[in-house]
Amino acid sequence: MAIQFDPTDRTITLQTRTTTYQMQIGANGRVLHLYYGRRIDGMCLDYPCILTDCGFSPNSYEDRLHREVSPDILPLEYSSAGCGDYRVPALECVSDGGVTGADLRYVRHDVTVGKYALPGLPASFEGDGQAQTLSMVLADAATGLEVELLYGVFEAADVITRAAVFRNGGDKAIRLDRASSLCLDIPFGQWELLHLHGRHCMERKPERVRLMHGIQTVSSRRGASSHHHNPFVVLMATDAGERHGECIGVMPVYSGSHRTDIELNQADSVRVVSGIAPDLFSWQLEPGEAFHAPEVILCHTDDGLESLTHRYHDFLNDHLIRSPWKNRRRPLLINSWESMTCDFDAEKVLKFAGDAAQLGVEMVVLDDGWFGARNDDNAGLGDWFANEDKLPGGLRPLSDAIHAMGLKFGLWIEPEMVNEDSELYRAHPDWALAVPGRKPVMARNQLVLDMGRRDVVEHLYGVFSALIRDNGIDYIKWDMNRNIADTFSAALPPHRQGEASHRYMLGVYELMDRLTGEFPEVLFENCAGGGGRFDAGMLYYTPQIWCSDDSDAIERLTIQTGTAIGYPVGAMGAHVSICPNQQTGRTVPFGTRAIVALSGTFGYELDPAHLTEDEKRRMRALAGRYHRFYDLIHNGRYYRLTGVDQDGDHVAWAFVDRCGRQALLNLVVTRTHANTHGIHVRLRGLDPDGRYRLKEMAVEGCDQPDGAYLSREDVAERMYTGQSLMAAGFTLRPMRGDYPGVQLLFERVDAKEE
């Protein structure tokens, strides 16, 4: 059993393959958190917890003669403000009677086979594996508030998920001001924080910092998970690295305003609280009502960040992404945005498609600009019917013509937005979020629809389901190009305005649920001005997300490395675009751009008509490489060979198939120097006793033949053991030129082939 209750010491223990999570129902019904870490069997883990009288840490009334027992110091499973625990609270609430906080005590627990679900919210599912659910109810006697803590235990996947449900069991309304999904006290150890920060065009840059005493916060108040602070943090033991040491990952399955607080307190212990950002949140719970907080995916490893990455990749692929496309080879696409923006007509698009079809492209995606009065980004959002000046007869003839070329047809949409200059806004100005008496805050000259309104969601569902059905759409790119500022809903009474932001997310999730559920054959790609909503919540609905509006391959090395710490490679939207790059002005060799984009979904963001003959030849060859390496890249293991810090002169990473038969080594030189001594890398994940040959070598952006970069003439002929490639490594001669890239395929030689 993955979940065990021991009535003698009143411990509840959750066991996964390599981890143990233990709680104890302590005196007076207080639920203590005893342990989360490397697996331990058959032990009550209350003994390391030392109780001492810490001055100015108060006692509950029952413990007034036991000054060493303080809710401010005890490791607690879930804690509210207002009851003697001054650490960062998981719950803040006030009842209509004016009672603040909740003194939460154990009521009951229950174990069931299978995985809990959260109504209206994305959450992991059982998949083929065996999951169990622990439900534990705590309650506050003064208000009648019940908090049900939910634990999904995925034994084989080595993951524990958490969520919380709040029920008003009293007779007065209760306002939740903070309703976190998770509180995790880590009583011992020295920890650092790894988080992914950034901005538009530079998302998810890894940063590792020492914890200071006090609270450090990773949060977004933008109504979206944001480009700026991704909802994923890793606590790393100070001595942990890529391949050793303890790491604890905390990944909220949420796409709106989120907050994870990490507090290092007076006792040098750590508390992590994670969930919906409380800043602009409140939720009115009438007697008998319930509120579901989103899920958080917890993962612990004892052997470094690499292993944490692998667990998250597997878990998201197997238990979170629900699209059937996650296991299908995605069509090689070309997107119109960087080459045409809104400036196209049917003739231009057909020429674009025809040219692309000659180069191995399998799907044409028509991006922004095909609808309403959309000739630039000041008008048209909301009017989801074809602009007949550009596309006479509408989308259907275009879609048919593209299909007749043997290509699939994809379309860009931005459902949650509206321009003032649109038919939709003129008909329903109250559908946009706006604060009464104040001019709305504008961004990209657009407003945000109130997705918390039923009429808005129904309208959008009608429009987009018909659009997809009537026009033979094979792919949808769902964009969101601004953050939310005026979180005021015309449909909510004043005392419920704090709900507008979360209701917005529930509306988005409902629309996504209905559209992706109705059209499982359509491949959905998420996007928010690039990677402004790259989170586990979105991955539940869409198997891939456009990583960044920065398509420069060198910038993408940082963006994709950071993203792949928690999110699978097959989820990262990555394209080859033209040079000089539109965002940075940098020129990177075509082949290097391809190596970087191949480590994601792969596609193009360029006009084939403007390519040289050499580039076209490369594109044709690349289509073959894309298909040949697809399984290795998307279903293999991803290894960071140069770690998460990118302060060296090259970045190297590899994909190794699950049997260790093939290894694809990728390397990009980010700074070229004279008089250097070559580039040395050590591979990972090979069969140590296997015998390998260098099967293929592609060196891009250098002015000498590929073989000239081998350390010795006979290197290509030699046989290597996995052990030697992993320990002694492989060396390439120094490369000249700007941003050369290398792709090497090592293949294990079966005994009979030898």
Catalytic residue list: 535, 615
Q: Does 479 bind ligand DGJ (CB under 6 A)?
A: yes
Per CB under 6 A, 530 contacts ligand DGJ: yes
Residue 529 near ligand DGJ by CB under 6 A: yes
Cβ distance to ligand DGJ smaller for residue 601 or 724: 601
What tokens were used for 752?
Answer: 């009979």
Tell me the closest approach of the beta carbon of residue 385 to ligand DGJ, in angstroms: 18
Q: Please name the amino acid found at residue 590.
A: F
Site track for ligand DGJ across 131-150, x = CB under 6 A:
--------------------
Which residue lies nearer to ligand DGJ by CB, 530 or 600? Answer: 530
Contact pattern from residue 312 through residue 341 relative to ligand DGJ, giving x for each residue in contact according to CB under 6 A and a dash for the rest? -------------------------x----
- Work out the burial of residue 195: count CB atoms within 10 Å of its CB; fewer than 13 is exposed, 13-18 middle, 19 or more buried: buried
Residues 6+ apart with CB under 8 A from 385: 371, 372, 394
Residue 527 binds to ligand DGJ (criterion: CB under 6 A): yes
Which H/E stretch holds residue 403? helix 395-404
Residue 429, phi then psi, degrees to nearest 5: -60, -30
| 368 binds ligand DGJ per the rule CB under 6 A | yes
DSSP states of 384-397 as a string? Answer: -SB-TTTSTT-HHH
Residue 367 sits in the site that holds ligand DGJ (CB under 6 A): yes
Nearer to ligand DGJ, 582 or 672 (CB): 582
Compare residues 78 and 412 and give the one whose CB is closer to ligand DGJ.
412
Do 183 and 79 meet the contact criterion of CB atoms below 8 Å apart? yes
Scanning 456-464, 525-533, 653-661, 679-687 for contacts with ligand DGJ by CB under 6 A, the matching segment is 525-533
Q: Cβ distance 301 to 566 under 8 Å?
A: no
Sign of CA dihedral 243, 249, 253, 254: negative
Cβ 203 to ligand DGJ, closest distance in Å?
11
14 bridge partner residues:
3, 21
Residue 410 beta carbon to ligand DGJ: minimum distance, rounded to whole angstroms = 11
If one asks whether residue 370 binds ligand DGJ (CB under 6 A), the answer comes out as no
> Closest distance between ligand DGJ and the C-beta of residue 480, in Å?
9
Report the chain's C-alpha Rg in angstroms. 27
Q: Which residue is nearest to ligand DGJ, using beta carbons?
A: 368
Pick left, alpha or beta for residue 579 (phi over 0 → left; psi -120 to 50 → alpha; otherwise beta): beta
Residues for the chain: how many in total?
Answer: 754
* Backbone angle region of 89, left / alpha / beta, with phi > 0 → left and psi within -120 to 50 → alpha: beta
- List residues bridging with 408 in a β-sheet: 363
Q: Minimum Å distance from CB 331 to ligand DGJ?
A: 18
Residue closer to ligand DGJ (CB basis): 85 or 368: 368
* Contact positions with ligand DGJ (CB under 6 A) in 161-180: none
C-beta separation of 432 from 495 below 8 A: no
**Considering only residues 242, 549, 550, 700, which one is a binding residue for ligand DGJ as defined by CB under 6 A?**
549
Residue 270 or 528 with smaller CB distance to ligand DGJ:
528
Q: Which residue number, 291 or 541, has a Cβ lying nearer to ligand DGJ? A: 541
410 within 8 A of 476, measured Cβ to Cβ? yes
Minimum distance of ligand DGJ from residue 367's CB (angstroms): 5
Tokens linked to 449:
């629809």
Q: Encoding tokens for residue 545?
A: 């997300």
* CB closer to ligand DGJ, 178 vs 477: 477
Asked if 254 touches ligand DGJ (CB under 6 A), the answer is no
- Cis before residue 392, ω within 30 degrees of 0? no
- CA–CA separation, 11 vs 740, rounded Å? 57
Note whether 481 binds ligand DGJ by CB under 6 A: yes
Q: What span, in angstroms and rounded, lies between the C-alpha atoms of 410 and 474?
A: 5
d(CA 16, CA 347): 58
| Beta strand pairing call for 174-179 and 91-95 | antiparallel
* 550 contributes a contact to ligand DGJ by CB under 6 A: no
Q: How many residues bind ligand DGJ (CB under 6 A)?
A: 11
Nearer to ligand DGJ, 306 or 549 (CB): 549
Measuring CA to CA, how many Å separate 704 from each of 435, 614, 700, 734, 745?
63, 17, 10, 11, 19
- Rule CB under 6 A: choose which of 504, 546, 653, 709 binds ligand DGJ: 546
Q: Which of 526, 439, 438, 426 is nearest to 479 (CA)?
A: 526
Within positions 385 to 424, which residues make up the interface with ligand DGJ, using CB under 6 A? 412
Q: Residue 11 interacts with ligand DGJ (CB under 6 A)?
A: no
**Cβ-contact 281, 219 below 8 angstroms:** no
The answer to whether residue 344 forms part of the interface with ligand DGJ (CB under 6 A) is no
Contact residues for ligand DGJ, defined by CB under 6 A: 337, 367-368, 412, 479, 481, 527, 529-530, 546, 549
